Structure 1
Amino acid sequence: MPTGSTGQIIGIIVASLLVIGFGIGMSVYFGRKAKNSQDWLSAGESLPLIVVIITQFATATGGGVLIAHVGIGYKSGWSVFIYEGCVLIGFLVLMLIAKWLRQQRFTTVPDIITRLFGQHKLVTAIAAIAALVVPFGWLATQFVAFAQLFGQLTGVSPTALILLIMVASLLFVLPGGLTSVAWTDFVFGIFMIAMSLGVAAYAVHLAGGWGQITATVPQRLWGWEGFTAVGWEQIWLWIAAILPGTLTNQLYYQRVFATKKVSDARRGLGLSGLTMLIGGIYAGCIGLAVHSMNPGLTNEEDAAGWLLTQLPTWLVIVFGAFLVSTIVSTTGAALQSVVANLTRDVYQNIVGKEQGERQTVSLSRMITVGVSVLAAVLAILFPKALTWLVATYAYSAAALAAPIFLGYALHKRRRLTPAAAIASMLTGIVGCAVAQVLDTTVPYAVYGIGASTVVLLVIALATPGKPSADVRSELVREEA
């Protein structure tokens, strides 16, 4: 039965609705355990180690892995593992401060900045904007990816599909915030891992087995040289772009904040990073298999879509369910992260409004609806213009990388002030913008991070005095 037939469309729709319905049921069940605003915003430090590991994987695996990474495998073979490896290295670096992050009981990234440099509304505002733009970009682009993928499979209009995924994301987040998102992602993550390995194995089988692939695909893609087939220039560009983005992505921090045990924070990041390699197996095997079967694709990112036309009906339906679970996991996590920033940092810390537990949760839910509608409108009106949101990675990293990591390295030795944080973040943003305008060869995020680091280091060394009493008391608690 060819792709796009009535039977397949009905099967895909039913499977998608079953997945969404199951996820909503899970969200409602675990949402009942969210007893207060802390549970809604940070899962109340309740997530077991295995849940943290799988939910990190589910959050990080979105439309990019499904389409772009398969394209890398098609064109450049095992080079896709370099891309996934950059995420792994980012997680390993985050491990250096993971225990401290969990001990301090943060809720959002701006909490980290203000703890290191002191309370100041402008510090919180800049850090909040830098932290929320990335998950908001994820949210909007995942809406677009869902519409593109399922529009081709089902013929349903993009607007209808965007509205569907918006409603599904709302129903995943509204019951219990991060508590419901994390547990739902955990279940979906297990399904995603199984499907990734299963579809990769079937693609290799469909191509005639590994022997047939090695006989028809150039060795430079599937041999050891395949790990660098993309070229060293592109590899260095990936390192410069992906590492900073991973190190400052609030979605990853939130799962560290939510670990049940302090001791799990570091282990959770390391093991989560290793699960990212599953994405490399999935993308590499499918890319090479499709290259073997159809080496003439003009656009490598069409490889995943072409494979769908070769799958039997039952697998197309199951694969559709896999796509839904993958995209909904990412949109739910991104939506909750944006709402946490707006509730905690903007409303409570900047505006200075404090409300009771019920009122805070109700406000968070209203903000959730507003953010979802805004992202859906942008996805409908500008389905191709949303690629500019990729730049949010660079600007977010330029603003946050130095204050978080250099600030952590200096906070026991130097007096860090709000002025240092403000100057460092603004310099990072300006440096990033200048490099982007000049169209530098090196990714503009690198210039922004470098400028931010230099300014913060100079100001910290020039500021007299010792760490504040608050910081010293925190250090005593850490050592205890």
Structure 2
Amino acid sequence: MSTGSPGQIVGIVVASLLVVGSGIAMSVYFGRKARGSAGWLAAGESLPLIVVIITQFATATGGGVLIAHVGIGYRSGWSVFVYEGCVLVGFLVLALIARWLRTQRFTTVPDIVTRLFGRHRLVTAIAALAALVVPFGWLATQFVAFAQLFGQLTGISPTALILVMTVASLLFVLPGGLTSVAWTDFVFGIFMIAMSLGVAGYAVHLAGGWGHIAAVVPRRLWGVEGLTAVGWQQIWLWIAAILPGTLTNQLYYQRVFATKKVSDARRGLVLSGLTMLVGGVYAGCIGLSVHAMNPSLLNEEDAAGWLLTRLPSWLVVVFGAFLVSTIVSTTGAALQSVVANLTRDVYQNIAGRSRDEHRTVALSRVITVAVALLAAVLAILFPKALDWLVATYAYSAAALAAPIFLGYLLHRFRRLTPAPAIAGMLAGIVGCGAAQLIGTTVPYAVYGIAASAVVLLATALATSSKRTTSVHSELARES
């Protein structure tokens, strides 16, 4: 059932078409500036600092912020900032190795692992699988989120909406790969930040102002104590689940690889992390405002949808455009990331096929269409079954966290071989699976990461040799 009148539905559709159309025009324009396969896969190390900051925000802000985070704000007040803060901390940790990441001219996360441990097809294969499952999960679930949210606004069938978003995502990615995605995300990201703050402010106004919210909503939600209102158990679970996922998400790494200046790599992550707090303002203000107006919702995740029924027609139309720009930013980034893995890691590094510029770009476009269609089919046929894709965060982090960060520390002192990486990644996956089967309270990713770290360290000490002073100095200059 739609929440809008016929006039609102027409307005939403027109506004959405304008957003998508402008995005496609920008994608084509910036796609012409992409230089060969480097521009397609890694934006040719061409992104200015401000673009990196905003595109990180646009990529990370999807259906989860629009629905789930508003629900956190409704039920637990400012605790939503703890969630966003976990992403910020993850970015700050990534910033510690950002300069090294940028100087190595990586394209995908498996490039990092093979640089640390040496080239081996099994290393590349496991790392590529662990890296691509997360953005593919994002892609499919964002299709579903768009169909559900936009369906509530317009009454259009989910299948039709998923197909529309599939075509839009393809048109955003095909012209120039990451170059197109990053620049369109930059423009959309500015719109998203403005809309987030604007809608949050309007929600507070609709609820009677902050004074009224403070009078009718329990202080434990809107006061300083609201930061921990969700409870310490849930906070620790967030820390254990979100931090590893942030630290191993290839979508974030790719923006570091693409910075125009090496010096921007670290600053970009720090400032991007701070920008993520805008999501906390949006979700917290809307959640508390809806709580003030209707404290009896049975499902906190209905808070965003309930607010839509109270917005004036013009704002509902603008919100529809905001919704489209938010979802399409994430789907385009996720689609390009999966294609980068399949092209760079599977086709070139594992299969050992041609690195010809023209052929690489052409193949990337073919793979883009295939991946988008597969995600769309899954989203249409199994919209509820896609919940299992949440597990991809855990298994990806369990496989990649130790090889990236522990490997970065060890490679300065020892000559690493592929064996520790293979053993560590497999141990992470097995440990994660075992903890999931047991049903542990702590997210099973933590057990996987711990198992991966222990096995990787033991294998590295048994199979590697110490570096000479001259080699160590060379590596220090690299970093």
Question: What's the TM-score bracket when you normalise by the shorter of the two chains?
Answer: over 0.9
**1:388 partnered with 2:388:** yes
Structure 1 residue 473, shift from structure 2 partner: 8.1
Give the distance between the partners of 1:303 and 1:144, measured in 2 at CA. Answer: 19
Asked if the contact 2:245–2:396 (Cα under 8 Å) also holds between the matched residues in 1, the reply is yes
Match of 1:321 in 2: 321
Q: How does 1:93-112 map to 2 (within 5 A)?
A: 93-112=93-112
The aligned residue for residue 407 of structure 1 is 407
Deviation at 1:320, TM superposition (A): 0.4
Q: CA deviation at 1:457?
A: 1.1
Structure 1 runs of 4+ with >6 Å offset:
468-471
The 3-state SS of whatever aligns with 2:246 is helix
Q: CA deviation at 1:462?
A: 2.1
Q: 1:122 to 1:155 in 2, by over 3 A?
A: same
Residues 468, 3 of structure 1: alpha-carbon distance in 2 compared, 3 angstrom cutoff:
farther
- Relative to structure 1, the CA distance from residue 241 to residue 471 in structure 2 (aligned partners, 3 Å threshold; closer, same or farther) is farther
Q: Which sections of structure 2, spanning at least 5 residues, go unmatched?
A: none
Corresponding position of 2:153: 153
User: CA deviation digits over 1:231-287, x for unaligned, max 9?
Assistant: 000000000000000000000000000000000000000000000100000000000
**Cα distance change, pair 131–470 in 1 and its aligned pair in 2 (3 A):** farther
Structure 2 residue aligned with 1:419: 419
- Aligned pair 1:201/2:201, yes or no? yes
- Superposition deviation, residue 464 in structure 1: 4.5
2:449 matched residue in structure 1: 449
Q: Please report how far the alpha carbon of residue 470 of structure 1 lies from its aligned counterpart in structure 2 after TM superposition.
A: 12
Q: State the AA in 2 paired with 1:113.
A: V
Q: Does 1:274 align with 2:274?
A: yes
**Aligned counterpart, 2:191:** 191
Give the corresponding residue for 1:353: 353
1:26 deviates by: 0.3
| Distance across 1 between alignment mates of 2:358 and 2:223 | 58
SS at match of 2:445: helix
Structure 1 unmatched ranges of 5 or more: none
Contact 2:419 2:463 in 1 (8 A): no
CA distance in 1, matches of 2:469, 2:255: 29
Q: Distance in 1 between matches of 2:131 and 2:35?
A: 26
Identify the residue that residue 212 of structure 2 maps to in structure 1: 212
Q: Deviations over 1:296-323 (max 9, x none)?
A: 1000000000000000000000000000
In structure 2, give the amino acid aligned to 1:258.
A
Q: Is residue 142 from structure 1 mapped to residue 142 from structure 2 by the alignment? A: yes
Q: Which residue of 2 aligns with 1:119?
A: 119
Listed as ranges, the matches of 1:16-35 within 5 Å are 16-35=16-35
Q: Which amino acid aligns with 1:255?
A: R
Give the share of equivalent positions with the same residue, in percent.
83
CA displacement 1:166-186 (0-9 Å, x = unmatched) = 000000000000000000000
Read off the aligned partner of 1:357 and give its amino acid letter.
E
What secondary structure does 1:262 align onto? coil
Q: Decide whether the 8 Å contact of 1:151 with 1:158 is kept in 2.
A: yes
Equivalent residue runs for 1:5-404 within 5 Å: 5-404=5-404
| CA apart distance, 1:421 | 0.3
Task: Spell out, residue by residue over 1:28-63, the C-alpha distance to the aligned partner (whole angstroms, 9 max, x if none).
Answer: 000000120000000000000000000000000000
Q: In the aligned structure 2, how far is the partner of 1:159 from the partner of 1:182?
A: 28
Q: Contact 2:30–2:180 (CA<8 Å) still a contact in 1?
A: yes
The answer to whether the 8 Å contact 1:116/1:471 transfers is: no
Displacement after TM superposition at 1:472 (Å): 5.1
Q: CA-to-partner distance for each residue in 1:55-94, whole Å, 9 max, x for gaps?
A: 0000000000000000000000000000000000000000
Q: Secondary structure at the match of 1:286?
A: helix
Tell me the distance in 2 between the aligned counterparts of 1:349 and 1:60.
28
Q: Contact between 1:207 and 1:290, CA under 8 Å: does it hold in 2? A: yes
Equivalent AA in structure 2 for residue 148 of structure 1 = Q
What secondary structure is seen at the aligned counterpart in 2 of 1:281?
A: helix
TM-aligned CA distance change 1:469 to 1:175, over 3 Å: farther
- Classify the secondary structure of the residue corresponding to 2:298: coil
Output the CA distance in 1 between the equivalents of 2:471 and 2:176.
Answer: 33
Q: How far off is 1:4 after superposition?
A: 2.0
Q: Using the alignment, how far apart are the partners of 1:46 and 1:464 within structure 2?
A: 37
- Counterpart contact for 2:188–2:326, Cα < 8 Å: yes
CA distance in 1, matches of 2:12, 2:303: 20
Alpha-carbon shift at residue 475 of structure 1 (Å): 1.0
How far apart, CA to CA, are the structure 2 residues paired with 1:401 and 1:329? 26
Q: Which amino acid aligns with 1:49?
A: L
Indicate if the aligned counterparts of 1:415 and 1:468 stay in contact, CA closer than 8 A.
Answer: no
**Counterpart Cα distance in 1 of 2:476 and 2:444:** 39
Q: Indicate if the aligned counterparts of 2:124 and 2:349 stay in contact, CA closer than 8 A.
A: yes
Change in 2 beyond 3 A, CA 1:165/1:337: same
Q: Which amino acid aligns with 1:143?
A: F
Deviation sequence 1:368-411 (CA, Å, 0-9, x none): 00000000000000011101000000000000000000000010
Q: In structure 2, what is the Cα distance between the partners aligned to 1:414 and 1:388? A: 39
More moved, 245-254 vs 459-468: 459-468
Amino acid in the other structure paired with 1:216: V
